[in-house]
Amino acid sequence: MRCNRLGKTNIEVPVIGLGGWALGGGYDWGNADERTVQQTVEAALQAGSNLIDTAPIYGSSEELLGRALLGRRSHVLLSTKCGLVKNGSWTDHDLRASTIRTQLETSLRRLQTDFIDIYFIHYLDPQVPWQEVLNTLLALQKQGKIRYIGVCNIPADTLEEMARTGSISCVQDELSILHAQKATRILEICRAYQLGFMAYGPLCGGILSGKYRREPNLRRADARNYFYKCYRAEAFEKAQSIVARVKQIADRKQVLPVQVALAWVLAQPGVTCALTGARSAQQVQQNADASAVTLTAEELCHLTP
């Protein structure tokens, strides 16, 4: 597995990491099976994908990962998040200092660890200035409970202001062939301030694998129904034209479409790694093998919308 340095930090991360959202099941992804989680994590570690990302809001992900990683903590880079809390059927933003401290302590207990390698602000809280949030996280960093501070889903102008403080080390945002322009400005800022960039959603919930030839009949609460905007009507048809290009290049290179889609993400300037969801050892290995796929300039141009 190829690795990249995460921004200006002293850690190397694999170019393909394991995203823990789907592993947690819940409303977004259906039932979670503990044995499957253990097998998936084992496959990821064997493949060299030892960066594992999760969040308190991802169903049972933290608890399941904590048990799957028991005795293996020293071999894993763990990231989790703060700022989103469940309030009945609603999800609220809450980045008050007391909530951050409570969320972190709960994550540490669930993950059965003493520290988090990269602790992300999941989304900004409009009620709490980001400067206050950073001060809270810096205090926790001094206590040794988190190694590095990261941010997710941040508007570019705010990200640049935060980057100037020198307090953050990493950014997470959505990036895939279907959202080729979405992170352009974010990546420019990451390059300018030497921030690591983790791409989430590189396969858009699996659509870039080519497995959806017709619009899937998804539950209303399914993440592919509300989070990824490419499974309905015109958006689905538009996605299929990109999927066809991905498959064409995959056939030519004798690799899988998922590997071409991931290779495209990894080829974007400023990208440190791609976080890939998986719910089986086979999916983990297929994703990990993208590390060895290189796309030519012509192929990258052909794929980019």
pLDDT, one tens digit per residue, over 168-186 is 999 999 999 998 988 999 9
Measured between alpha carbons, how far apart are the two ends of the chain, in Å?
Answer: 28
Q: Give, to the nearest 10 degrees, the angle between helix 130-142 and helix 97-111.
A: 40
- pLDDT at position 257 is 97
Percentage, residues of the chain above pLDDT 90: 79
pLDDT, one tens digit per residue, over 155-168 is 999 999 999 999 99
Residue 56 tokens, joined: 């308190």
Rounded distance, CA 212 to CA 168, Å?
38
DSSP-based three-state secondary structure for 190: helix
Predicted model pTM: 0.94
Residues recognised as catalytic: 58
Residue 147 tokens, joined: 């190694």
CB atoms within 10 A of CB 2: 13
At 27, is the pLDDT very low, low, confident or very high (cuts 50, 70, 90)?
low
